[in-house]
């Protein structure tokens, strides 16, 4: 990939321009899916799930400035796919991974670089966590887009508060911090509401 | 410690936002208060839940986008399919009425001009194990055996031009010319292998009976004045 092409792709991804991801899929999806299935003998659903995980990680790394250059985009993305595949295999060996896409995503998060919970603790509490997962997903739908982005940037992408403030249009880092706290509380209330609806 | 709510303290503690002193003070408080320790554990779980739920939704959004892109390409695939059928019919017609010697000559030229590219370097660090095994297999002429090793090497490597280049040769040697092209076309003009790859791409096109494409590449080699196989490119062009 030339420097110019890389700079264009980076600009598109930073601006959330769909052309960026379109290019990534066009250039890489068939290669990654084919190679992954050939090398791991996995089924199509697994390969696609791994590809989606890899593209999300790629986008996040690009947005956080973790990628300085790419010589070969398909090979680079395939490298991420391969690591994701190994993460999934580790999770399958360690825990009883259900073939439910939502729960599989939970295992991807637990196996990621900086999990919020230690593995031993997760093993002890996984049934309780899995029990709440659906309610947590529904509760996210109750949050405004800005709130969800704020929590995502902070908890998923570990972006600094001043960067979050400028990206989302808050006056400063302190305002972003207070808003983050409120969004978190809103989300917790929405989870409780979901749980009550389920039990009612 | 400043007068914030317990929830804010917990959030700041888990997000690593406390000063060293505050963190130590709050840590002591957690040790002494099992209820607080439990609340922190619950908050950790909640953040994990958020991460999983948000990741899942983001993944679903991405999947939708991907499906849309795939759906958009289907009409083009259909066009490509019909174009391939038309080309095949045309090829068969030409095959039946054209002197067979000329049709085969492209492949014969390619076979005559192809030489396996030597693989003589050694490597250390990440991917060294696959590199070493791949080199041994390649040097022994076990091209099919070298393919998975080169794929592994490529997957581990940040700058995968070397395995990609040789992977192309392995596919070529096993008769998978389209796969060889697929690999070689990944090598960009910033690569030290680009010049050599250009020549081998022309040969792969010849093997695939894509004479016009091959001529275009050979002409490019001549026009650019590449050092690698320049005379051979001129000779081939003159022969067509």
Tell me the chain A residues in contact with residue B42 when contact means C-beta distances shorter than 8 Å. none
ipTM of this predicted structure: 0.85
How big is the CA angle at A138 (ends A136 and A141), to the nearest 5 degrees?
Answer: 115
Nearest to A139 by CA among A197, A60, A179: A197
- Across the interface, whether the CB atoms of B156 and A188 are under 8 A apart is answered no
Q: How many CB pairs below 8 Å do chains A and B form together?
A: 132
List the single residue in A with minimal CA-CA distance to B186.
A72
pLDDT by residue for chain B (240 residues), tens digit each? 445 678 778 878 887 778 889 889 988 999 999 999 888 888 888 888 888 888 888 888 888 888 887 776 555 455 555 565 566 556 555 555 554 444 447 888 888 888 888 876 556 565 577 788 888 888 888 888 888 888 888 877 656 788 899 999 998 988 888 888 888 988 887 777 888 899 999 999 888 888 888 999 999 888 887 778 888 888 888 887
- Position A114 scores a pLDDT of 60
- Position A136 scores a pLDDT of 86
DSSP letter assigned to residue A155: I
> Model-level pTM?
0.57
List the single residue in A with minimal CA-CA distance to B73.
A26
* Min distance B1 CA to chain A CA atoms (Å): 18
B45 touches A129 (CB < 8 A): yes
A115 touches B48 (CB < 8 A): yes
Give the residues of chain A that fall short of pLDDT 70: 97-99, 113-116, 197-200
Sign, Cα dihedral of A63, A68, A73, A76:
negative
Start-to-end C-alpha separation, chain B: 85
By three-state DSSP, how is residue A68 classified? coil
Would you state the structure tokens that stand for residue A173, as one six-digit string? 């880092």
- Across the interface, whether the CB atoms of A79 and B156 are under 8 A apart is answered yes
- Position B103 scores a pLDDT of 47
- Across the interface, whether the CB atoms of B48 and A18 are under 8 A apart is answered no
B20 touches B14 (CB < 8 A): no
- Across the interface, whether the CB atoms of B54 and A2 are under 8 A apart is answered no
- What is the CB neighbour count within 10 angstroms for residue B231? 8
Nearest-angstrom CA–CA distance, A152 and A163: 13
Interface test with B, best of A4, A102, A190 (most B CBs within 10 A): A102
- Across the interface, whether the CB atoms of B11 and A181 are under 8 A apart is answered yes
């Amino acid at each position: 990939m030339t420097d110019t092409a890389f700079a264009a792709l980076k600009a598109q991804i930073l601006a959330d321009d769909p052309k960026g991801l379109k290019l990534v899929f066009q250039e890489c999806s068939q290669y990654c899916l084919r190679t992954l299935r050939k090398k791991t003998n996995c089924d199509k659903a697994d390969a696609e799930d791994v590809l989606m995980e890899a593209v999300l990680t790629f986008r996040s790394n690009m947005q956080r400035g973790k990628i300085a250059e790419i010589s070969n985009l398909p090979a680079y993305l395939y490298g991420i796919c391969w690591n994701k595949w190994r993460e999934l295999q580790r999770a399958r060996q360690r825990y009883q991974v259900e073939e439910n896409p939502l729960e599989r995503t939970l295992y991807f998060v637990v196996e990621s670089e900086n999990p919020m919970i230690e593995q031993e603790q997760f093993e002890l509490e996984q049934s309780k966590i899995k029990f709440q997962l659906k309610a947590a997903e529904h509760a996210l739908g109750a949050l405004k887009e800005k709130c969800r982005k704020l929590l995502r940037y902070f908890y998923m992408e570990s972006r600094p508060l001043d960067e979050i403030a400028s990206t989302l249009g808050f006056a400063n880092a302190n305002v972003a911090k207070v808003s983050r706290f409120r969004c978190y509380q809103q989300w917790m209330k929405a989870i409780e509401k979901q749980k009550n609806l389920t039990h009612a | 410690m400043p007068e914030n709510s317990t929830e804010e303290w917990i959030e700041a503690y888990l997000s690593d936002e406390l000063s060293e002193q505050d963190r130590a003070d709050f840590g002591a408080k957690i040790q002494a208060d099992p209820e607080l320790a439990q609340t922190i554990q619950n908050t950790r779980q909640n953040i994990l839940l958020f991460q999983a739920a948000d990741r899942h939704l983001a993944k679903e959004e991405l999947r939708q986008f991907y499906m849309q892109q795939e759906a958009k390409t289907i009409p083009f695939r259909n066009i490509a399919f019909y174009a391939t059928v038309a080309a095949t019919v045309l090829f068969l017609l030409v095959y039946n009425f054209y002197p067979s010697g000329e049709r085969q000559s492209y492949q014969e030229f390619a076979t005559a001009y192809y030489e396996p590219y030597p693989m003589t370097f050694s490597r250390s660090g990440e991917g060294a194990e696959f590199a070493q095994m791949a080199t041994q297999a390649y040097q022994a002429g076990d091209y099919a055996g070298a393919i998975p090793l080169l794929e592994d090497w490529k997957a581990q490597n940040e700058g995968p031009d070397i395995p990609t280049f040789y992977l192309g040769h392995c596919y070529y040697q096993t008769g998978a010319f389209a796969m060889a092209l697929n690999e070689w076309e990944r090598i960009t003009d910033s690569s030290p292998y680009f010049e050599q790859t250009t020549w081998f791409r022309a040969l792969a096109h010849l093997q695939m009976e894509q004479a016009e494409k091959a001529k275009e590449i050979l002409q490019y080699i001549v026009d650019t004045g590449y050092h690698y196989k320049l005379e051979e490119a001129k000779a081939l062009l003159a022969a067509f």
